Amino acid sequence: MADAIVVPGGEVPGDLNLLRAINPKHLDGKGQLCDNSFFLSRSKPKDGVSTGIEPLITVQQLRNLQCIRKRCGEACGVAVMNVGEVLNPVQDTPIRVLQEDDEEWGCFSHAHALITGHQGLPKGDEGKKKLKDFQRHLVNLARKRYFPAGSTVEQSTA
Amino acid sequence: MAQPAYALPTYCESEAPKYYSSLTQPIVLSNALNELGDGGGSISCEAATPLNFYTFAKWNPLAELANPHGGGNASRFWPDVTYNYISISTPHGLARSAAPEEIQEVVRPPLLMSELKQISKLKRNWDGEGAEKPSPKTLKAARTLLKLAAKTMRARRERMGLSRALWLRLSSPLPDLNVSANQQLVFKARPWSIDALEAGLTISGATPITAQQEEPSESDAALYPTIDGAVTLKWIYHGRELKCTITGDSVEVVRWRSDASYESDGLWDLTVEQTREHFEWLMR
């Protein structure tokens, strides 16, 4: 059971998947995922990419969350990313995937996780460059398994 | 995918010895066929260099590449490398040879500029999540940057000795923003071997004329606003990737050597004019 292995406030195990709801307004002019969907700010201490932990929440359940519907519309795009793959190139950095309850998610509050820790990257251009590399990595990863807006799970590009 | 055997048209055979160059960059042609409507059409592309053809589902030339005299609605492609112009014809026999000046009529103007125009109309909170709108200064710098990109491509084209028609009107990846994959044609130039041409002028197997479906373009540019009020130009060219993020009058440039590489070459904070060398890097 995934419930048993996701420790509240702890790191999400590498073999689980993350679901990222995609605001269609954040796609580029060609309708492709871009870094707008994985915006990371180093100046905000609590900043991170908000995601759902699968199987604690499914694609459809994520789409049905009121806060997601309000932000991204009905049947919004959802990207599926494996935690291990997300963290693979940044193992020697402070970036982590942490479970963090989100009350906005109602009964799925426990299924919420943040990709965060980027605030601990080095200051200056070096850290900025590392952040850009990581953002691009997230976009590329998300593109591999993306359920576009209006699609069903069966139409996944995986 | 098995590649079709394809015999060059007669008029091409007679001119074969002239057709050698070292062009290795992709040439992108958008929407010319789209202008012909659903009734189908054909296009022949004539260049100073042989071309390698890629196309997508709607205009699948495979059947007629294998049989250039076949009928039906499939688009027809064949390369003639004698002249630098594009000719377009419909299956109803309405042939048209477009001189460079005419080509403008059938190829859309650079669409990244149109995209920038759309971006300039954005209001604050355009994403419903509090996104900033780009400032006039940012938009002005973005316009200058696009012009610089086009200018750098033009210089590149001139160095390679390509015609204005092929390169400026048709080859720029910049016009492709609003063209979906199945409408986009990507011409990738690659030198034919003299041996292949002299040995009966039949191209087959791994020889240069190929047609592929659903392949990603080798040149892909996109312009989009970012949620913090910047404008980003992302341009992938032959696997190399350049990302220019414009905020005010400064440009943050990051570049990656290949799709596969995780780590970027570097990050630079530059003026618009200083980004020229990075466009040159992208197109070399």
Higher pLDDT, A59 or B96: A59
Q: Is the pLDDT of residue B134 over 80?
A: yes
pTM of the model: 0.65
Residue A35 sits at the chain B interface (C-beta within 8 Å): yes
B122: contact with A, CB 8 A cutoff? no
B228 touches chain A (CB under 8 A): yes
Higher pLDDT: B22 or A20? It is A20
CA distance A34 to B200: 48
Residue B211 lies in a domain: yes
Hey, what are A143's tokens? 């593109």
d(CA A145, CA A151): 12
pLDDT tens digits, A6-37: 888 999 999 999 999 999 899 887 788 999 99
Chain A positions touching B178 (Cβ under 8 A) are 29-30
Give the model's pLDDT for residue B236: 84
Query: CB distance B222–A39 less than 8 Å?
Result: no
Checking if the pLDDT of B148 tops 50, the result is yes
B224-249: average pLDDT: 92
A131 vs B95, higher pLDDT? A131
Collect all residues of chain B within an 8 Å Cβ-Cβ radius of residue A29: 115, 118, 177-178, 222-224
Q: pLDDT category, B155, cuts 50, 70, 90? A: confident
Report angle CA A63, A67, A69 to the nearest 5 degrees: 45
In B, minimum Cα distance to A134 occurs at B262
A23 vs chain B: nearest CA distance in angstroms? 8
CB-CB contact of A44 with A56 (8 Å): no
Residue with tokens 């590009």: A157
Q: How far is CA B265 from CA A51, A131, B46, B107, B254, in A?
A: 30, 13, 37, 35, 7
State the first-to-last Cα distance of chain B, in angstroms, to the nearest integer.
29
Name the residue range of residue B234's domain: 6-283
With respect to residue A126, please indicate whether it lies within any of the assigned structural domains.
Answer: yes
- Mean pLDDT for the stretch of residues B60-71: 28
Q: Decide if pLDDT at A131 tops 80.
A: yes
Provide, as residue numbers in chain B, all residues whose Cβ is less than 8 Å from the Cβ of A35: 226, 232
| Count of domains for chain A | 1
Contact A39 B178 (CB under 8 A): no
pLDDT interval class at A79 (50, 70, 90):
very high
If you search the block for the tokens 């020229």, which residue do you land on?
Answer: B276
**pLDDT surpasses 70 at B146:** yes
Nearest Cα neighbor of A102 from A91, A111, A92 is A111
- The partner residue sitting opposite B264, judged by closest CB among A25, A32, A132, is A132
Measured CA to CA in angstroms, residue A47 lies from A27, B45, B69, B155 at distances of 21, 52, 62, 44
Contact, B243 vs A132, CB < 8 A? yes
Within 8 A of B129 by CB-CB distance, chain A residues are 23, 71
Q: Which of A114, A122, A49 is nearest to A92 (CA)?
A: A122
Interchain proximity B222–A132, CB inside 8 Å: no
Q: Say if the Cβ atoms of B228 and A29 lie within 8 Å.
A: no
DSSP one-letter code for A115: E
Sorting pLDDT into bands at 50, 70 and 90, what band is B241?
very high
B128 touches chain A (CB under 8 A): yes
Q: What is the mean pLDDT of residues A78-97?
A: 95
B169-186: pLDDT as tens digits:
333 332 222 222 222 233
The whole-angstrom distance between B3's CA and the closest CA on chain A is: 26
Domain that includes residue A143, residue range? 2-150
Residue of B227, B259, B263 with shortest CB distance to A36: B227
With a cut of 70, say whether residue B198 has pLDDT above it. no
- For chain B, the average pLDDT equals 54
pLDDT of residue B149: 85
Which ipTM value was assigned to this complex?
0.89
Number of domains in chain B: 1
Interface check B114 vs A, CB under 8 A: no
| A142 min Cα distance to partner chain B (Å) | 15
Minimum distance, in Å, between the CA of residue B110 and any CA atom of chain A: 14
A74–B contact, CB cutoff 8 A: no
Q: Is the peptide bond before A55 cis (omega within 30 degrees of 0)?
A: yes
pLDDT of B35 > 50? The answer is: no
* Residues in chain A closer than 8 A to B263 (CB atoms): 133
Cα distance from B8 to chain A (closest Cα, Å)? 36
CA distances from B175 to A70, A114, B31, B202, B220 (A): 34, 38, 9, 34, 10
Q: Tell whether B1 is covered by a domain.
A: no
Does residue B264 surpass a pLDDT of 50? yes
In a domain, A156, yes or no: no
Min Cα–Cα distance to chain B from A64, Å: 18
Written as six digits, the tokens of A155 are 């139409």
- What pLDDT is attached to residue A151? 74
| Arithmetic mean of pLDDT, B42-71 | 30
Mean of the pLDDT values across residues B95-122?
A: 54
CA distance B207 to chain A (A): 31
Exposure string (b/e) for B126-155, b if CB count within 10 Å is 16 or more? bbeeebbbbeeebbbbbbbbbebbbebbee
Q: Is A155 a member of any domain?
A: no
Banded pLDDT at B24 (limits 50, 70, 90): very low
What confidence score (pLDDT) does residue B217 get? 41
What pLDDT was estimated at residue B159?
62
